[in-house]
Amino acid sequence: MWIKTILLLAIVLIISCSHNIEKKEDISKTTTTKEQSNNYEDRFHKTKSNTNWQGTYKGFIPCADCSGIETFLTLNDNESYTLKYRYIGKSMEFTEKKGSFIWNDAEDRIILKDIKDAPNQYQLAENSLIQLDINGNRILGSLQDEYVFEKENSNPMNMYYEQLIDKTWQLIELNGITIPTPNKELKEKATDIKFEKNGNMSGFAGCNYFSGPFHVTTNDRIFFGQITKTLAFCTRQDIEDKFMTIFDTIDNYYVENNILILRKGISAPIAKFKLVK
């Protein structure tokens, strides 16, 4: 009898200890979650009184049928705004809207009063604005960073920018296919591209010279404006025709071991270039 009693007490003790351990783990997880939440709030949450909100903010909003929507939002001391935007790859002209904005009760977001049929709320953040959805909620998911508008002249360029600018890059791979070496006897020239600090890029597509505007952001995004080129025909016309289509597709880039890689999203590289000078 006394053996059964001891066994019963042992089982009760084991269950009690296990419950306490689980409780401690739950408390630990809760504390960690709260700490992460607080860190997030400290980093991103700003209000009218603790940040210099006046200025111009620039963003590139995702677009279903274009390369992105280039957008500028200027906030003034008198609580007026100017909103300018254009659809990259479709137009070089900006649509402009002007009006006034109000603050929410917490004074941590602005509301553009004159816009009713589109997202009109922006959350204040560190040197940036976060565009909210049409209901005033934060847009989450893989594209959430694309709705962050950066304050102009407030952030350094990304880590690849200095490697990209004022250098000439020669095309070595397009859509996974290696580009053949130009035949000098046929006076063929390599396809190349150069990016300049003034926001212009230029190069040789295979038969013709091309040029146009581009813009990069701090999160490795890259966008191209309207491209112009000369009109000539040559033996590398097939390469040029395929190459010139990439500017409407590419939206990000990186540089690795002197290789420039252009791609869309996290897909396989669309184009690879090697540094030549």
The residue extents of the domains of the chain are 55-151, 161-275
pTM for the model stands at: 0.52
* Reported confidence tier of residue 217, pLDDT bands at 50, 70, 90: confident
**93: phi then psi, degrees, rounded to nearest 5:** -90, 140
pLDDT: is 202 or 92 the higher one? 202
Tens digit of each residue's pLDDT (9 = 90 or more) over 95-139: 999 999 999 999 999 999 988 888 999 999 888 899 999 999 999
Q: How many CB atoms lie within 10 A of CB 162?
A: 12
Q: Judge whether 55-151 and 161-275 match in fold.
A: yes
Mean pLDDT of 229-233: 93
Structure tokens at 60: 């590139």
CA dihedral sign of residues 154, 226, 263, 205: negative
Q: Can you tell me the distance from the alpha carbon of 6 to that of 91, in angstroms, rounded to the nearest whole number?
A: 83
* CATH 1.10.10.60 at 55-151, yes or no: no
Tens digit of each residue's pLDDT (9 = 90 or more) over 50-105: 888 999 998 888 888 877 888 999 999 999 999 999 888 777 788 999 999 999 99
Beta bridge partners of 260: 255, 273
Arithmetic mean of pLDDT over the chain: 82
**So what's the architecture of 161-275 in CATH?**
Beta Barrel (2.40)
